[in-house]
Amino acid sequence: MTRVVYVNGRYRPYAQAFVHVEDRGFQFADSVYEVCDVKGGAIIDRDPHLARLARSLSELQMPMPMTMAALRLVLRETVRRNRVRNGLVYLQVSRGVAERDFAFPPPDTPATIVCLARSLPPDYAAARAERGIAVVTAPDIRWRRCDIKTVMLLPAVLAKREAALKGAKEAWLVNEAGFVTEGASSNAWIITEDGRVVTPGLSASILPGVTRATLIEAIAREGLILEERHFTPAEAAGAREAFITSATNTVMPVVSINGSAIGDGRPGPLTRQMRRIFHKTVAIKE
């Protein structure tokens, strides 16, 4: 449960945590965000998430609304005030409040900054990882700058709705060339018959996942083979194993795609290994 929300310099009770109707995040999705996993009270991969936020802001020509040190403090204080040991912390920065106009507001317009934190059961993702998740494919109808983490999430909302209607937890988005770009809110991975770990390379078509980057470090450290390249839904369906990565899921096995089982339809040993080495790498970095 979220008790207290940081809004523009104040910690407000949840029921009174508001932003203005003329906020540019609300009117134009002119806003960027980050979500970090919280484990044992620690904010996992905090600095890479803040670095990505800084990059998203800069790509949208928004200044950093406060120093990195101040943002770290807001994250930590929001986690503390909500007594989150295990859960997530969410940070959003919009271009602020101004009379509705496509033009950027005057440069001295203060950004809107919101931070909230919520607890999740400690074994929430771990329990799901024991079963794995189903994914379905959906057309990737997003814009051409998916490397910027904006709140313009309607295509993801619709793809996840389709997935939910089909009993799946995630949608894998397929571009016009027929390749999987990424999940609606995760990066997509497969493992080939000969044990190569495959994920699409970074481009403007996907979000540079922080979990993805940490797992790539872990894969290198363990001497496993990584291939950054495209794959099709058909290759995924015939793959030995598949999984997704995101901050809150870490490494989550995918056991079926469009209703057809991957491997034996259960989380496989290599994906379990990925989950283990990811958590090991995070522990080393803490």
Residues of this chain that bind ligand PMP (CB under 6 A): 35, 182, 185-187, 207, 209-212, 245-247
Name the minimum Å distance from CB 128 to ligand PMP. Answer: 16
Name the minimum Å distance from CB 187 to ligand PMP. Answer: 5
Cβ proximity to ligand PMP, 4 vs 150, nearer residue: 150
Element (H, E) at 208: none
Name the minimum Å distance from CB 248 to ligand PMP. Answer: 7
**Burial class of 120 by CB neighbour count within 10 A (0 to 12, 13 to 18, 19+):** middle
Cα–Cα distance between 62 and 107 in angstroms, integer?
Answer: 9
DSSP alpha helix (H) spans, 132-209: 154-165
Name the minimum Å distance from CB 96 to ligand PMP. Answer: 23
3-class state of residue 79 by DSSP: helix
Closest to 226 (Cα-Cα) out of 237, 218, 238: 218
Cβ proximity to ligand PMP, 148 vs 191, nearer residue: 148
Cα–Cα distance between 155 and 158 in angstroms, integer?
Answer: 5
Element (H, E) at 54: helix 46-59
Given 39, 149, 160, 169, the catalytic residue: 149
Name the minimum Å distance from CB 211 to ligand PMP. Answer: 3
Cβ proximity to ligand PMP, 55 vs 266, nearer residue: 55
Neighbours of 284 (CB within 10 A): 10
Element (H, E) at 16: none
Cβ proximity to ligand PMP, 19 vs 210, nearer residue: 210
The answer to whether the CB of 133 falls within 8 A of the CB of 164 is no
3-class state of residue 107 by DSSP: coil
Q: β-strands 170-174, 133-139: how paired?
A: parallel
169 is catalytic: no
Q: Which residues are catalytic?
A: 149
